[in-house]
């Protein structure tokens, strides 16, 4: 124990020495010793995280602002932040992303050389407040706006002769699209198991309560950004939890909880039926909308033949529900966690589809208008490949449904192992390392790293022809005309 303590102290002292030159607090902090020390401490922590190879990549960081983290949404609206209220709201959002990232990285440290999470969080809060109140620091932030990297690799496209590859692949992509559409609204091939993506004991929320939450939140924001409280978002997750019916051929078709053994090898424990909740925001014709996420994880995608290029360990489905300004379902879309099979459904009659764009692969797109406020979204999945084969509204199977335990999606970023350590499901490239597919060997010319592998949010490239990300702001503007709010 003494040797371990000495070694930890030595590592911490060495990290201080190495990062002293690397930590350069912005000039706007000079003269404030407390804030300079806070900035240096957070910078040292980030350096140590990278040195140990446990950095989380769900969000993007900036070396000058180690107390903030950024996603594509926060990057896209930064230029629209003009008032003090806007600034506070934007910083509250990006500091929350950083806190989630920092907690995961802190827990995943292999050796902690003396950092304390509470102290790091306190420093981050002080620096966030200073950025809000200090015009010079805010100007530096906006002048050095974070860049969110693309998940397409240009070198892969160049060496793969992408223009030729995309032309040759188009017939196969259209054939697969037609195959998926051919399964829509067809009777399942195997008996189905019904799951509610939440706790069926939660009472339904009155629609006027939901409407009031959104009206109040948008009124508080100059950007009309509905930042609800964590409790309100949890209630909305439970209220709108879809009913999912899965054709069940084998254990591969049972959703479960992701766990880790002592060797940090992840598995899906189907004895613990679970769903992972999260939320995000998107822009749609100049307005900001809340999105609820429901993520299901399966042990594997079942092979259909001896060398199935799409089969392998792990399969996962990400379901996303975008709510309108009254808190009603507006758009439902989904992908598999490889970024494949993007599907988009308009849920109210204010939306009309656009003609597909040229030179970019369109999603499968349908209209499923909600008939009344009491009905729940009902999604049918096929066996083995867990493909969406139907989306409708109703409550007919609700009494037979098995509730899934709701977990935070962020738990996947720091999973406890059987020897009381923590390890992320995702590697430094945002991939689930042991979920590779054979399809990567022939799909690499499209620029997608390890095509078919499960990947972390923020890293979902969702087309092979053209480029598009699942978390891309304004994405829905490619699919729909501006909402016609005067429609009956």
How do the pLDDT tens digits run along the chain, 488 residues long? 334 344 444 444 444 444 444 457 887 787 788 999 999 999 999 999 999 999 999 999 999 999 999 999 999 999 899 889 999 999 999 999 999 999 999 999 999 999 999 999 999 999 999 999 999 999 999 988 889 999 999 999 999 999 999 999 999 999 999 999 998 989 998 999 999 998 766 678 999 999 999 999 998 888 889 999 999 999 999 999 999 999 999 999 999 999 998 788 899 999 999 999 999 999 999 999 999 999 999 999 999 998 999 999 999 999 999 999 999 999 999 999 999 999 999 999 999 999 999 889 999 999 999 998 878 999 999 999 999 999 999 987 788 899 999 999 999 999 999 888 999 999 999 999 999 999 999 999 999 999 999 999 999 999 999 999 999 999 999 999 999 865 54
Report the DSSP beta bridge partners of residue 281: 290
Q: What is the pLDDT of residue 436?
A: 96
Measured between alpha carbons, how far is 233 from 227 in angstroms, rounded to an integer? 9
The set of residues, in sequence order, having a beta carbon less than 8 Å from that of 399 and lying 6+ positions away, is none
Q: What is the pLDDT of residue 374?
A: 79
Measured between its terminal Cα atoms, the distance across the chain in Å is 72
Task: For the sheet with 312-323, list strands across it.
Answer: 364-367, 343-346, 329-336, 312-323, 287-301, 274-284, 405-408
């Amino acid at each position: 124990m003494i040797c371990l303590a000495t070694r930890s102290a030595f590592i911490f002292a060495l990290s201080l020495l190495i990062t002293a030159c690397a930590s350069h607090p912005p000039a706007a902090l000079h003269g404030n010793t407390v804030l300079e020390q806070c900035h240096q401490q957070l910078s040292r922590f980030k350096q140590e995280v990278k040195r140990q190879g446990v950095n989380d990549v769900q969000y993007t960081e900036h070396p000058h602002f180690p107390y903030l983290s950024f996603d594509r949404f926060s990057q896209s609206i930064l230029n629209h932040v003009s008032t003090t209220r806007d600034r506070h709201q934007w910083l509250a959002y990006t500091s929350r992303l950083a806190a989630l990232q920092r907690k995961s990285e802190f827990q995943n440290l292999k050796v902690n050389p003396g950092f304390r999470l509470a102290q790091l969080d306190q420093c981050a809060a002080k620096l966030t407040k200073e950025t809000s109140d200090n015009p010079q620091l805010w100007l530096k932030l906006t002048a050095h706006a974070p860049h969110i990297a693309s998940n397409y690799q240009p070198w892969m496209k160049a060496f793969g002769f992408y223009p030729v590859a995309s032309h040759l692949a188009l017939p196969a992509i259209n054939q697969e699209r037609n195959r998926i559409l051919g399964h829509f609204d067809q009777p399942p091939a195997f008996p189905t198991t019904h799951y509610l993506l939440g706790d069926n004991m939660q009472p339904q929320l009155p629609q006027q309560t939901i409407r009031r939450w959104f009206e109040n939140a948008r009124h508080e924001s100059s950007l009309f950004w509905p930042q609800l409280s964590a409790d309100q978002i949890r209630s909305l997750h439970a209220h709108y939890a879809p009913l999912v019916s899965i054709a069940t051929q084998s254990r591969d078709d049972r959703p479960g909880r992701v766990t880790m053994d002592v060797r940090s090898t992840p598995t899906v424990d189907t004895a613990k039926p679970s769903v992972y909740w999260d939320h995000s925001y998107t822009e749609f014709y100049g307005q900001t909308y809340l999105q609820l996420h429901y993520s299901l994880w399966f042990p594997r995608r079942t092979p259909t033949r001896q060398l199935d290029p799409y089969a392998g360990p792990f399969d996962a489905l990400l379901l996303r529900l975008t709510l309108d300004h009254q808190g009603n379902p507006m758009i439902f879309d989904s992908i598999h966690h490889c970024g494949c099979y993007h599907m988009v459904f308009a849920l109210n009659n204010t939306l009309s589809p656009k003609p597909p764009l040229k030179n970019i692969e369109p999603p499968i797109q349908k209209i499923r208008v909600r008939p009344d406020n009491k009905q729940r979204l009902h999604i049918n999945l096929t066996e083995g490949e867990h493909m969406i084969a139907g989306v409708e509204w109703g409550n007919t199977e609700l009494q037979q449904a098995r509730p899934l335990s709701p977990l935070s999606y962020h738990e996947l970023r720091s999973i406890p192992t059987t020897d009381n350590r923590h390890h992320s499901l995702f590697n430094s490239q945002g991939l689930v390392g042991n979920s590779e597919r054979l399809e990567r060997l022939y799909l690499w010319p499209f620029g997608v790293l390890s095509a078919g592998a499960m990947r972390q949010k923020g890293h979902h490239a969702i087309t092979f022809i053209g480029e598009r990300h699942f978390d891309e702001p304004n994405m829905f503007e490619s699919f729909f005309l501006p909402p016609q709010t005067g429609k009956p």
